[in-house]
Chain A
């Protein structure tokens, strides 16, 4: 019997419900059943809901919400490059769809043309097994969208708007069905950067990654990693850089200094660390918005992806910042633009045409 159909223990259900950060979901789940618990915190409400005897439909609703609230949308991608100028990824994908060549645990959709653009959107749903203490959450069904566009004859850019680092890999493997000797998949992969070029890459992203409407303000977070970065190596030492060093790094970027000359960076390089992930804060030039965006090499192999961590609006007379939700479409455009600029910088650094 599929794990997905297990009935959660009361403890599991309470844990999952209280970990759902979207209080609106909890309220609406209880209220549409006719349950209104007044003046309570999230934990107490979760306790109360977990007393109910629920059916499959209820439990699937909770599972889906629990996954969604855990994951941030991350944009990554790759290029399918063919020497054959007539290579058409769209037609090839259609062949996979028509022939049902996807894996057993995958469901793929028909491509849909985005209005007024030569971009096609598709989506994939697949079952991903996850290990965890909460058995109820194992065997996750995850779903992501992707966008394909022919940028030059025979060269197709693929953007993956997913929530897991395995999403991009899932699509690359699907396209493996149609690759010939004349076709290759080009990724923005950490293994192609050496220690120094990884610093240069993240350095340039601060000022060149966002569109002209945004100014770089600070580096909010930086992780560095030691050890060989190859496909199998997940055992490298990872360190989170402390706030004092982040101030120095921010100043070096703002003053246009070579980041490699920064004392902390020099020491890190000498100790064999390379940059792995950086979270930047940007301020909109004309409107009262602040954006925190995380650029990271993630997964196996380590592929570059972009996530929006925080979006804030400056409000009131005291100019306090308030976290606001960013519409999905807008979020994707920002991440897509940043990822495309990153790819250009990456190609320049590794001298890939």
Chain B
């Protein structure tokens, strides 16, 4: 088998769990468990989680997470297709299972429609060049359409995993300066009120920027943006508009923008213009970049 079985697979399962729990995802039961389907058969899953979805709703949601550890040259597009199909099937077979509800009573009351595949290509240097191929596999995947319940399946690969790790490290540093007061900000959407939470939802994990805030010791609300996009002036103009749209631009409130992309040559040229663009009291900080798993995930 191409996938790392046994010890390495279990280690990756735990490492992925380490990462997700940093964003207030809560594990349900053990890892590598067989769960009872509605038709008396069983589905093996790597880990069950719950998290609170704060965008629009305040529901807690159930999530099945499958942790995959591969080497780039052992991977094929058909493997990804199979995982997605299988995960879709597992979600459909499990959500109405009375045995499962008996085992985890919370699942009787919350939606179970989300699956996450966390795939780590452990030959990280090769992944740098392999990434384009993997993204093409994902883009070209054909999803069949049946008249059955819809599920949301997300794939977090090396880039997304390292981005989340970097986000966590920046948050950890920031929280150490502000007595853990940071909250993610979920803007008002579709007439639902805005919310603040320490939980990061899956939608933010897939997004290009994340909003948050904290109240400093002087009682002033500070606004924070974690920005993963490009660093050209037009990119920042768009980000500025986004902040206006989400009512997040406020001349009375300090704004802290964390950038992730590195583009020293270009960014140096436009940095002053970017600062002028954000008329608020803006501070730009860089997030750390990792090329391999950071120690907090490995321990």
Contacts and interface: CB of A to CB of B under 8 A. Distances in A.
Determine which residue in A2, A7, A36, A44 has the highest number of CB atoms from chain B within 10 A of its CB, and name it: A36
A83 B106 CA distance: 87
B140 A39 contact: no
A13 B281 CA distance: 30
B154 A28 contact: no
Determine which residue in B55, B147, B154, B206 has the highest number of CB atoms from chain A within 10 A of its CB, and name it: B206
A56 B150 contact: no
Nearest to B115: A36
Given A33-B206, A54-B207, A6 B149 contact: no
Contacts of B228: 55
Nearest to A50: B189
Determine which residue in A10, A53, A55 has the highest number of CB atoms from chain B within 10 A of its CB, and name it: A53
A34 B234 contact: no
Contacts of A37: 150-153
Nearest to B235: A56
B203 interface: yes
Determine which residue in B55, B140, B242 has the highest number of CB atoms from chain A within 10 A of its CB, and name it: B242
Contacts of A32: 135-136, 138-139
Contact of A38 (B153, B208, B238): B153
Contacts of A9: 245
A237 interface: no
Contacts of B227: 55
Contacts of A1: 237, 241
B223 to A, nearest CB: 14
B178 interface: no
Interface in A43-87: 44, 48, 51-59
A31 interface: yes
Contacts of A52: 203, 206-208
A59 B136 CA distance: 20
A344 interface: no
A53 B150 contact: no
Contacts of B206: 33-35, 52
Contact of A51 (B55, B154, B232): B55
Determine which residue in B232, B238, B242 has the highest number of CB atoms from chain A within 10 A of its CB, and name it: B238
9 contacts: A28-B139, A37-B150, A37-B152, A39-B145, A51-B203, A52-B203, A56-B235, A56-B239, A57-B235
List 5 tightest A-B contacts by C-beta distance, closest first: A55-B229, A55-B208, A34-B155, A53-B207, A7-B241
